[in-house]
Amino acid sequence: MYADRIKHLPPYLFAAIDKAKQEAKERGVDVIDLSVGDPDLPTPAHIIEALNRAARDPSNHQYPSYEGKLAFRKAMADWYQRTFGVSLDPGKEVLTLIGSKEGIAHAPLAFINPGDVALVPDPAYPVYRTATAFAGGEPVVMPLLRENGFLPDLEAIDPAIAKRAKLIFVNYPNNPIGASADRKFFRELIDFARDYGIIVMHDNPYSEVYYDDERSLSILEMEGAKDVAVEFHSLSKTYNMTGWRIGSVVGNAEVVAGIGKIKSNIDSGTFGAVQDAGIAALQSPREVVDETRKVYRHRIEILYKALKDLGLDLEKPRATLYLWAWVGGSSIEYAGRLLEKAGIVVTPGVGFGKYGEGYIRFSITQPTERIEQAVERLEKMR
């Protein structure tokens, strides 16, 4: 009955977690969910007010433009200029997305022919691999290993594979690991992509969730990046807007246009009122993001200390909403024990790929008091 592309898909990681979580709740367990990176903090009030106004505007009640309102794309370009010092042409180098996941999932359809290769990190957000498979391509894994700072070893990629590759996916700050990339890596990646004629797809939704004085980078800050790269960004994590489904892809104009051509044949764009609210978000004072970051920094400190005290092997992340802890053995079994003994839901690392086995991802997107309760439960397991 089902097409082969569906038959061969593994169960979506977070759907399986939701099922286990629901079963525990039905047994009467007070579940603390530290698995999914869905911010618990509310969307800032001024963004909600902008949506309320925009929803009453009749011009937003018709089909939106496929590429997104020029006003939203200009607001995104202005945000990139203020945040990263990157200049973008809002007419050609910015495309509105129904959340960055949607854009990432559609992108390979524009560039991958059956049998083409996409280089994908492992462990990684599962959509890179599945989107490649949906397009008929072959995902080839780049291991993210601790000894390499959880960066792909570009020199280790077989030149024969690199010559067949059309795309390379990277994601820094990284989900699930929490690792960051520096300018040296991005420059090397751009050179590698130029040498082999590969398009770089940089997924960058966590750039504003960082915890020290050194902000996270956009690949587009590097000289020559726009020759080979696009970057996906989302308002989900920066402005606590996961349910609103709005983001963008920016950078190389030809690549942006290719993704736009796919979208124009598949969807009808983002609701205009949500785009207007997105403009209000992108024009927010820096204090809005600073306050959110302050809350997350406090939670990271609490949970990091608890996991270290428990004897787990991990590093404090510079960015993202995640702690990536080495537990050894089966990550699925460890996650099962945490749910059974402590009522805590976490994400087994193997769900992000072969090289995630032995790790557990903990998220901090629960109210601080619930994280403190989780810590108390973890202490009882010592």
Tens digit of pLDDT for each residue in 5-18?
Answer: 777 676 666 677 77
Cα-Cα-Cα-Cα torsion 334, 340, 342, 343, nearest 10 degrees, comes to 110
> What is the model's pLDDT at position 14?
67
Tokens describing residue 60: 């937003």
The whole-angstrom separation of Cα 62 and Cα 95 is: 19
The 10 Å CB-count burial string (b at 16+, else e) for 74-84 is bbbbebbeebb
The CATH number assigned to the domain holding 172 equals 3.40.640.10
| Largest distance between two CA atoms of the chain | 59
Examine the domain organization and report whether 62 and 148 are in the same domain: yes
- From 282, 299, 323, the end of a domain falls on 282
Contacts of residue 32, defined as CB under 8 A and 6 or more positions apart, other chains included, come to 342, 343, 344, 345, 366, 370, 371, 373, 374, 377
Cα-Cα-Cα-Cα torsion 171, 174, 179, 181, nearest 10 degrees, comes to: 20
**Do 94 and 116 have their domain in common?**
yes
**Residues 103 and 214 grouped into a single domain:** yes
- Indicate the residue type of 305: K
pLDDT digit string (tens) for the chain, length 382 residues: 888 877 767 666 667 777 878 888 888 889 999 998 999 999 999 999 999 999 999 999 999 999 999 999 999 999 999 999 999 999 999 999 999 999 999 999 999 999 999 999 999 999 999 999 999 999 999 999 999 999 999 999 999 999 999 999 999 999 999 999 999 999 999 999 999 999 999 999 999 999 988 899 999 999 999 999 999 999 999 999 999 999 999 999 999 999 999 999 999 999 999 999 999 999 999 999 999 999 999 999 999 999 999 999 999 999 999 999 999 999 999 998 999 899 999 999 999 999 999 999 999 999 999 999 999 999 988 7
* Same-domain pairing of 71 and 191: yes
Range of the domain at 376: 4-42+287-380
Identify whether residues 224 and 263 lie together within a single domain: yes
> Do residues 136 and 86 share a domain?
yes
Q: CB under 8 Å to 212, separation ≥6 — which residues?
A: 318
pTM above 0.75, yes or no: yes
Q: Are 263 and 235 in contact (CB under 8 A)?
A: no
Sheet with 199-203, edge to edge strand ranges: 94-97, 247-251, 229-234, 199-203, 165-170, 117-122, 138-143
Last residue of a domain, one of 231, 248, 282: 282
Do 344 and 320 belong together in one domain?
yes
Q: Based on the structure, what is the number of domains in the chain?
A: 2
CB neighbourhood size of 356 (10 A): 22
Joined together, the tokens standing for residue 258 give: 């290719």
If asked whether residues 19 and 152 sit together in one domain, one would say no
